[in-house]
Amino acid sequence: MTMEVHQVVPPPHKSTLQKLKARLKETFFPDDPLRQFKGQPLKRKLILGAQYVFPILQWGPKYNLKLFKSDLVSGLTIASLAIPQGISYAKLASLPPIVGLYSSFVPPLVYAVLGSSKDLAVGPVSIASLVLGSMLRQEVSPTAEPVLFLQLAFTSTLFAGLFQASLGILRLGFIIDFLSKAILIGFMAGAAIIVSLQQLKSLLGITHFSNQMGLVPVMSSVFHNIHEWSWQTILMGICFLMLLLLARHVSIRKPKLFWVSAGAPLASVIISTLLVFAIKAQNHGISVIGKLQQGINPPSWNMLLLHGSHLGLVMKTGIITGILSLTEGIAVGRTFAALRNYKVDGNKEMMAIGFMNVVGSFTSCYVTTGAFSRSAVNNNAGAKTAVSNVVMSVTVMVTLLFLMPLFQYTPNVVLGAIIVTAVIGLIDVPAACNIWRIDKFDFLVMLVAFLGVLFISVQGGLALAVGLSTFKILLQITRPKTVMLGKIPGTDIYRNLHQYKEAVRIPGFLILSIEAPINFANITYLNERTLRWIEEEEDSIKEQPSLRFLILEMSAVSAIDTSGISLFKELKTTLENKGLVLVNPLSEVIEKLKKADEANDFIRVDNLFLTVGEAVASLSSAMKGQSSTITEGLHTIVSCN
Amino acid sequence: MTMEVHQVVPPPHKSTLQKLKARLKETFFPDDPLRQFKGQPLKRKLILGAQYVFPILQWGPKYNLKLFKSDLVSGLTIASLAIPQGISYAKLASLPPIVGLYSSFVPPLVYAVLGSSKDLAVGPVSIASLVLGSMLRQEVSPTAEPVLFLQLAFTSTLFAGLFQASLGILRLGFIIDFLSKAILIGFMAGAAIIVSLQQLKSLLGITHFSNQMGLVPVMSSVFHNIHEWSWQTILMGICFLMLLLLARHVSIRKPKLFWVSAGAPLASVIISTLLVFAIKAQNHGISVIGKLQQGINPPSWNMLLLHGSHLGLVMKTGIITGILSLTEGIAVGRTFAALRNYKVDGNKEMMAIGFMNVVGSFTSCYVTTGAFSRSAVNNNAGAKTAVSNVVMSVTVMVTLLFLMPLFQYTPNVVLGAIIVTAVIGLIDVPAACNIWRIDKFDFLVMLVAFLGVLFISVQGGLALAVGLSTFKILLQITRPKTVMLGKIPGTDIYRNLHQYKEAVRIPGFLILSIEAPINFANITYLNERTLRWIEEEEDSIKEQPSLRFLILEMSAVSAIDTSGISLFKELKTTLENKGLVLVNPLSEVIEKLKKADEANDFIRVDNLFLTVGEAVASLSSAMKGQSSTITEGLHTIVSCN
């Protein structure tokens, strides 16, 4: 059985500096954003640079009337959603309703210039509003100190924006990848329930409501104040809730009728306002928004509190709402980009969203991002470019300037119903079932996020879930899989004996594949596990020829450190008269082994092979070729190892 | 070119419970400690069980006079080291010198019964002493409140023992693996310097010395108190330091003369004590130990403070000294076990060391473990079993009962010299150079540990270094390597094009190998990186036939989660009319892909192969076999994909 044997070679030499440069590039610039600039003349480079910073320069010149028609329709549609949502979400954040409208005016304009997504519709979102409100309420009461509360909200928005922009500038966008899909599904479901529970205040007409967010305190507050429940409010709430849910259902069943659910909130607001006005329901226990200020956003840079005792809270709130809104914005942007087959640059988007929030904090807006529901409507309504954001913004401006008095009689209960309808869509049961089917650990992470948000706190639940999923990654490294390989008959292919039932063991050889980088965190385990494999193998092959060689298939060992190298030295000692053979160590591994292997112990021609097949063939023939007493022959091989 | 194509099959079905059981077993019982019990009669099981808990039952019955002779010699040798070291280390921990001797009496006896190492010599160690003292001094002054300080030390020892034992019982021993060799080298060098700096107090005869540990405060304290320097002390210190270093040097050069360095500390103590006594040097500025209490360990269980304001500090101190001493003990045990080719069970050792410290805390001992220097001497002196520990313990007992008055005139400066000589051996410059040569990142970790210990604090430096090395692992997952494969001419082997210069690309195919589990932390990166590979490939092959297939070699993808599966769906969308082919997905990956792949998109016979060679051969022949217009043929393949 002669067979050509191919050598394992280390990669070409690179200096530490070159390696560091390559590593840094892969870490921070995996998408190689400068590639398009390469080899271009200076003028073109400047244009490309300006287009990179302001994507509007890219699509603006090609803009035409046909595109505008589509954008006008979609812009008006999302405006009809944005106005009631803006008012409702601001209330969710314990802010004056008008701030929600302000936040739908300036940020969309900024995003239209800087953003690279064509579908993202910008505005306040439920989860960031909820978290902002609940975190600030820990220290300041929005009713007792409304001005201070507003100041803190704007300052948090500034910090959120700065944090988001700096993540983008420092190219640390991968941080938001740690909020995995499983975490987001659990988190959003939990947050949807928390948000809906908060709406019980307006849906039941309760005046004394819990300040806390958790399931337990809210439910206890609801049932302790049962005497405050107002049947008029409840009746009205149920009617409009049914109406909104029905509209949503229709749009889900027939996507062409997207405008039914998109227009339903505004229609509900109009109908309920007229109704209240007609029957003077505000005198019959139905609470209304009340007088709203007219006019567009006043400046708010003088309201930013950059010192004082609340600075810590404000920074924490900014970072958490910043991360949450960024995650939603990026995820929404990516989803629609994938759907319509264009690319969204994550780090670029972070800068756009961040800058938008910084500008927002100067102009009386609170945290905004690309909202999921609004963007979906936008896309459905046929938006072609960010101009639909401009249309929405102008519509909101007109509302702010002229239509604010009309909202005076809008009942709070309808706003509550609008929020509940919006967030109920965030509970994604099929996705949860799918996760359960595919990966039980991911399901556990999801459950932790869900229950954590419900029973601990929004930040606590998220932190627990992120910690758990990071722990899983570490556990995969600490306890890497080792599998025994066998030969698939009639081939030279060696595969997992457990997975491929037809694969057979080769007597005298124990072939293990290690499926993780070898480092300080797992060498103890790998050492113990390998010895156990050997002992088990020796127990099972009592009658067959005894174990001669341990072949380690290293194709899946992507990296090694100094501790990892000591594993081989230890194995070598424990294996005694058995040979230790390495197969296909990858470039980094062979390089480091070579450097460490002063005694020339591991990486000699006779114990380093390119494939398992070649190793087995070569070692078997060497054994046979030697003296008839096999043991003697073995010792020769081993001693020259 | 016909070629047999082998199918990729999922592993045999296992229920979630079975998988969970297997996973738990691999996580907590990788060494399968119950294997030896399998299939044994009940009586044998009981004996094996008792031997497992008390290893003395294993070797005790076979003990004989010949073994005892060796153990007697080595026991006396380590006792001669243990007495001065005990006194010195207790002073390092700001404890009364006698406590150091107590700690060399009881714990070795406990370890002799419970421990599984034959070479470990038990006693107080420099680093744990240093940390214990420095942490407790943060809240309590050992001079102002000596009794409270002693109580806190014993209570910390109790917590250290409980923590160590519970790590062993809960089989969480892998936690200490996170203190990698690189960290330990940096940490020990830093600690050696810190410890040596502390000795400047006794070496220079300074009375007003800094309470802090860092390099800066100690040096400033030394030079601010230059008027306190005592030339008599300095002279004596230099002489004995030279003597001790010379003895150490002799033993390193000629291992047979191990007794020179082993006996030198006791010899120095005896000579210096006689000298002080003879010339009444205590009246000439040389400080001496002073009167020491006689008698063996008094009970100390009534001194344990399990409540009160210092509980937090005591628990923290216990956990940190517990981890540090455990690491030293386990590392030392493993080193000598590997040297003499027997096995030490990590979790078992943790229980032994933990229980030893719990007993110690009841009998006026502070934190002890297997000491490196002492165990090396023990091994050199020919110790055969744990009886050498018993011999040492008895010798210390005799000292405690009868010889204590002799130490009254022992000068502190000699104890300082003994400590400096002992810890200087912890600075391992060649190992540091070796790390630099093999792995630059490990070197950085080592440097962080070293500088952190020197300039921040012992715990701070350790925490930083552990954090950094964990971050590296996470980074390896977040930015996994993807390499382009090519065919090694004349074979069916595909390897890294960058590593194997002779490998060639196959026109029309882009073959990538992904070298990490695919999960939430890296799908964004992998998506971007893959698209970049494709774009680069398309740029470079303008004249050749265009890219038809992306082949992902998955042999190194050891795991996947739900997010990872979405990567394939996204890739499928972005690849448009190119085919996505998977090669050799491992058992977990194929299983999950199968579950998630409702549309039968990825794991069909025509885009799932066992080796890259088979994939290329099969897809090439399919392309050729189809209609002459290649593009048409391609579309057919793709559309049925």
How many pairs of residues across A and B have Cβ atoms under 8 Å apart?
240
B514: helix, strand or coil = strand
A527 touches chain B (CB under 8 A): no
Say how far residue A504 (Cα) sits from the centre of its chain.
43
Structural contact between residues A478 and A525, judged by C-beta atoms closer than 8 angstroms: yes
Q: What is the mean pLDDT of each run of 10 residues along chain B (641 residues)?
A: 66 82 81 76 86 86 89 86 86 90 94 90 90 89 91 95 92 81 87 86 83 83 86 89 90 81 84 88 78 85 88 93 90 78 82 95 94 81 88 92 85 85 84 89 93 86 89 87 89 88 88 90 88 84 75 90 86 82 88 80 79 88 61 41 36
* pLDDT > 70: percent of chain A: 96
A15 touches chain B (CB under 8 A): no
Q: What is the pLDDT of residues B424-466, one digit of tens each?
A: 887 889 989 988 988 888 999 999 999 998 998 877 888 899 9
B18 touches chain A (CB under 8 A): no
Rounded Cα–Cα distance for residues A627 and A609 (Å): 24
Looking at residue A460, what is its pLDDT?
84
| Domain A479-627: CATH architecture, name and number where available | 2-Layer Sandwich (3.30)
Q: What is the pLDDT of residues A244-290, one digit of tens each?
A: 899 888 888 887 887 787 788 888 888 998 988 888 877 777 888 78
Least Cα separation, residue A172 to chain B (angstroms): 12
Looking at residue A296, what is its pLDDT?
85
- Does B479 sit within 8 Å of A26, measured CB to CB? yes
**Nearest chain B alpha carbon to A437:** B595
**Nearest chain A alpha carbon to B613:** A493
A287: helix, strand or coil = coil
Q: Which residue has the tokens 């227009």?
A: A263
Residue extents of the structural domains in chain A? 56-297+310-472, 479-627
B584: helix, strand or coil = coil
B170 touches chain A (CB under 8 A): no
Rounded Cα–Cα distance for residues B269 and B274 (Å): 8
B481 touches chain A (CB under 8 A): yes
Q: What is the pLDDT of residues A346-363, one digit of tens each?
A: 888 999 999 999 999 999
From chain B, the residues in CB contact with A20 under 8 A are 440
Evaluate if residue A94 carries a pLDDT over 80. yes
Higher pLDDT, A2 or A203: A203
Structural contact between residues A579 and A622, judged by C-beta atoms closer than 8 angstroms: no
A498 touches chain B (CB under 8 A): yes
Interface test with B, best of A334, A562, A569, A573 (most B CBs within 10 A): A562
- Does B491 sit within 8 Å of A562, measured CB to CB? no
The half-sphere exposure of A238 on its side-chain side, counting CA atoms within 13 A, is 6
Higher pLDDT, A418 or A211: A418
- Does A476 sit within 8 Å of B181, measured CB to CB? no
- Does A495 sit within 8 Å of B610, measured CB to CB? yes
Of A20, A499, A556, the CB nearest to B11: A499
| Closest of B36, B338, B441, B185 to residue A524, by C-alpha | B338
- Does A559 sit within 8 Å of B555, measured CB to CB? no
Reading the block at residue A387, the tokens are: 């101009």
Burial environment of residue A480 by CB neighbours within 10 A (0 to 12, 13 to 18, 19 or more): buried
The CA distances from residue A610 to A2, A372, A572, B551, in Å, are 16, 51, 20, 21
B123: helix, strand or coil = strand
Taking only residues 414 to 473 of chain B, the set having a beta carbon closer than 8 angstroms to any beta carbon of chain A reads 434-435, 437-442, 469-470, 473
A586 touches chain B (CB under 8 A): yes
Rounded Cα–Cα distance for residues A248 and B505 (Å): 53
Looking at residue A628, what is its pLDDT?
43
**Nearest chain A alpha carbon to B25:** A479
From chain B, the residues in CB contact with A442 under 8 A are 561-563
Of B35, B437, B562, the CB nearest to A181: B562
B11 touches chain A (CB under 8 A): yes
- Does B473 sit within 8 Å of A521, measured CB to CB? yes
Least Cα separation, residue A347 to chain B (angstroms): 12
Looking at residue A545, what is its pLDDT?
65
- Does A561 sit within 8 Å of B180, measured CB to CB? yes
From chain B, the residues in CB contact with A524 under 8 A are 173-174, 177, 346
B524: helix, strand or coil = helix
**Nearest chain B alpha carbon to A4:** B491
Q: ipTM for the complex?
A: 0.83
Residue A21, number of CB atoms within 10 A of its CB: 12
Evaluate if residue A497 carries a pLDDT over 50. yes
> What's the full length of chain B, in residues?
641
Q: What is the DSSP letter of B308?
A: S
A118: helix, strand or coil = coil
Rounded Cα–Cα distance for residues B494 and B502 (Å): 11
